[in-house]
Amino acid sequence: MTSPTDTVLSDLDTDRAHRIYRHLHAHPELSMQEHATADLVAAELEELGIGHFRCGGTGVVGVIRNGDGPVVAFRADTDGLPIAEDTGLEYASTATGTLEDGTVVPVMHGCGHDTHVTSLLSAARALTSHPDTWSGTLVLVFQPGEEVAAGARAMVDDGLWERAPLPEVVLGQHVMPLRSGTVDISHGVAMAMADALRVTVYGKQSHGSRPQSSIDPIVLGAHVIARLQTIVSRELDPRTPAVVTSGTFHAGLKENIIPDRAEFTLNIRTFEPEVRERVLAAVRRIVSGEAAVSGAPEPLVEEIYSFPRCHNDPVQAARVESALRDGLGEGNVSVAEPVMGSEDFGLLGEAVGVPSVFWMFGGSTSHRARRPRSTTPRTSRPPWDRRWRPARAPPSPRSWPTSAPTHGADRPAPTPDTTKAGPVGPAFVLCRGGGI
């Protein structure tokens, strides 16, 4: 059996991880358009001798079989965002992409998915280099389209779990502006459900000097948006978390013409399914009711996307938390409250009735990075069975690739520092003596 230090990435492999990360950061691709990223991942898996297949369009799935033991899936998302990068990094993105409506936009890995891909590839390299330190089967899921809630569904619909071994648990992680080497993990709900709606209200066009001849959709839209804010403040229990945000509003082309329609978008975040249904029903009621009061036609409400709930199975979350505490130290792991950010990760396990666990890991060496909030476990740790019990200390956090600029789950980007080691990698949980 190898010693604990033998399972850490070598200097050569660490340099390779840094090069992969910088390449990915400089060449991001929009959601469901990650063709070059998928080619890179497939080439890396091929070089490691890991069997793989394409799934869900631009998704890639690799399978590492290493004897008897549990089957565990680990997911990394791969898409970038339509953001213009202004970090000043020598490997900053200058890439552009084309949205569905034909608009050409700048693209940046503004959510750290370049770090996620690099971390999982590095874990695969560490595990295939030291097969005597673990046993079982690992399914590597490189998922496209997380930012638009399309990738997990596309992979499931494309037969992900018919083509890959069915896992006993699905694991995932997200880089955050936390201090490198620290982790936040939740028990139960980890991230919110999200629903995005496009609302078009109709009116009657008229010259601005003759408002009496109009039905003003701008005034109507303004009343709708103001009234929507009463859903959380007046219709829900004050102890019930929910968010209703209007992010865009578009109407008219000329200041002296009252237009015939206005369009605005909504973003809704909730933790519980019944609260979600109540908020969505209230939105439709208010939109329809305000239109009726204005004497306007029935508005059009269209779904843009819907993110599922990200729920951590309590038993599996306790196992992961224990492994992370063993690897990082008690003071570097926090039991955290759920966040209002959203993820489609939960669908991967939910689709086949498999538990999942998702956590946040630190990706910043800046002194401004937030420290863990609390290190007290919310629940006691369950006994570990033989498959999960570590036979040695997990690898050092200093073996994993550096962080990308990231807003995480709607948070500001940490200051990147590629001269120092960065976030914890998946092998803290995966690389376990005698089992995954």
The reply to whether the predicted model has a pTM over 0.75 is yes
Residues 155 and 47 in one domain: yes
Q: Is residue 214 one of the residues assigned to a domain? A: yes
Show the domain range for 209: 193-307
Set 77, 79, 147, 344: catalytic member? 79
pLDDT per residue over 168-194, tens digit each?
999 999 999 999 999 999 999 999 999
Q: Is residue 75 one of the residues assigned to a domain? A: yes
Q: What is the pLDDT of residue 367?
A: 53
The rounded distance, in Å, linking the Cα atoms of 30 and 104 is: 11
Q: What is the pLDDT of residue 364?
A: 86
Residues 363 and 244 in one domain: no
Residues 167 and 178 in one domain: yes
Give 257's contacts (C-beta < 8 A, 6+ positions apart).
205, 206, 207, 208
Set 29, 146, 290, 344: catalytic member? 146
Tokens of 40: 């890179």
Task: Place 369 in a pLDDT band, splitting at 50, 70 and 90.
Answer: low
Q: Is residue 41 one of the residues assigned to a domain? A: yes
Read off the pLDDT of each residue in 320-327 and give the average, rounded to a whole number. 95
pLDDT per residue over 251-297, tens digit each?
999 999 999 999 999 999 999 999 999 999 999 999 999 999 999 99
Tokens of 333: 């792991």
Distances (CA, A) of 293 to 17, 38, 209, 257, 288: 60, 52, 23, 22, 9
User: Which contacts of 82-90 are long-range, i.e. CB under 8 A and separated by 24 or more positions?
Assistant: 82/30, 82/106, 82/107, 83/107, 83/108, 83/110, 84/108, 85/110, 85/405, 87/405, 87/413, 87/416, 89/25, 89/405, 89/416
Residues 245 and 274 in one domain: yes
Q: Report the percentage of the chain scoring pLDDT > 90.
A: 80
The rounded distance, in Å, linking the Cα atoms of 47 and 66 is: 17
Residues 49 and 172 in one domain: yes
pLDDT per residue over 38-85, tens digit each?
999 999 999 999 999 999 999 999 999 999 999 999 999 999 999 999
Q: What is the pLDDT of residue 350?
A: 96
Q: Is residue 435 one of the residues assigned to a domain? A: no
Say which CATH number the domain at 279 has. Answer: 3.30.70.360
Residues 19 and 129 in one domain: yes
Burial profile 91-127: b = 16 or more Cβ within 10 angstroms, e = fewer: bebebebeeeeeeeebbbbbbbbbbbbbbbbbbbbbb
Q: How much is the mean pLDDT over the chain?
A: 86
The rounded distance, in Å, linking the Cα atoms of 347 and 280 is: 21
Residues 271 and 352 in one domain: no
Task: Place 365 in a pLDDT band, splitting at 50, 70 and 90.
Answer: confident
Tokens of 358: 């998702």
Q: 199: which strand partners?
A: 264, 301
DSSP H or E run through 188: strand 188-191
Q: Is residue 47 one of the residues assigned to a domain? A: yes
Q: What is the pLDDT of residue 391?
A: 33
Residues 9 and 158 in one domain: yes
Residues 251 and 297 in one domain: yes
Q: What is the pLDDT of residue 396?
A: 34
Cα angle vertex 397, ends 393, 403, to 5°?
160
Number of domain units in the chain: 2
241 within 8 A of 231, measured Cβ to Cβ: no
Whether the pLDDT of residue 398 is over 60: the answer is no
Give 90: exposed, middle or buried? Use CB within 10 Å, 0-12, 13-18, 19+.
exposed
Our answer to whether residue 146 is catalytic in this structure is yes
Give 228: exposed, middle or buried? Use CB within 10 Å, 0-12, 13-18, 19+.
buried
Residues 290 and 256 in one domain: yes
Residues 293 and 316 in one domain: no
The rounded distance, in Å, linking the Cα atoms of 164 and 53 is: 9
Whether the pLDDT of residue 412 is over 90: the answer is no
The rounded distance, in Å, linking the Cα atoms of 133 and 394 is: 10
Whether the pLDDT of residue 378 is over 90: the answer is no
Which residue in 403, 399, 358 sits closest to 122, CA to CA?
399
Q: What is the pLDDT of residue 98?
A: 98
First to last CA, the chain: 15
Domain end call among 307, 332, 349:
307
62 within 8 A of 164, measured Cβ to Cβ: no
Say which CATH number the domain at 64 has. Answer: 3.40.630.10
Read off the pLDDT of each residue in 148-167 and give the average, rounded to a whole number. 98
Which residue in 285, 289, 288, 283 sits closest to 300, CA to CA?
288
The rounded distance, in Å, linking the Cα atoms of 374 and 332 is: 9
Domain end call among 256, 275, 307:
307
Residues 263 and 368 in one domain: no
Write phi, then psi, for 7 (nearest 5 degrees): -90, 0
Whether the pLDDT of residue 399 is over 70: the answer is no
Domain end call among 307, 333, 360:
307
Tokens of 156: 């499931």
Q: Is residue 436 one of the residues assigned to a domain? A: no
Q: Is residue 141 one of the residues assigned to a domain? A: yes
The rounded distance, in Å, linking the Cα atoms of 340 and 108 is: 22
The rounded distance, in Å, linking the Cα atoms of 318 and 44 is: 32
Whether the pLDDT of residue 388 is over 80: the answer is no
Q: Is residue 105 one of the residues assigned to a domain? A: yes
Which of residues 210 and 420 earns the better pLDDT score?
Answer: 210
